[in-house]
Amino acid sequence: MTFETGDVVQPLKGGPAMSVIKVENGIVYCGMMDSGEENAKQFKAEELSLYKEDGDFGVC
């Protein structure tokens, strides 16, 4: 799967939703908030999927 800057992704093994910061040479750099501090992690594209929330939240 191909990801773009701004996509919201999640590791296939589970974990928090993260924003894609950049994609470079098959590596996806993701940012997330952890205890009020921004942390960045890197993943291979095949380790991630687009984030989807489960359930029907209706229209607000």
* pLDDT single digits (tens) 1-46: 899 999 999 999 988 889 999 999 999 999 986 656 668 899 999 9
b/e map 15-50, b = 16+ CB within 10 Å = eeebbbbebeeeebbbeeeeeeeeeeeebeeeebee
Residue 23: its pLDDT value, please? Answer: 96
Question: Which residue do the tokens 């799967």 mark?
Answer: 1
> Are 10 and 53 within 8 A, CB to CB?
no
Residue 43: its pLDDT value, please? Answer: 96
The pLDDT of residue 58 is above 70: no
Nearest to 46 by CA among 7, 9, 19: 9
- pTM (predicted TM-score): 0.77
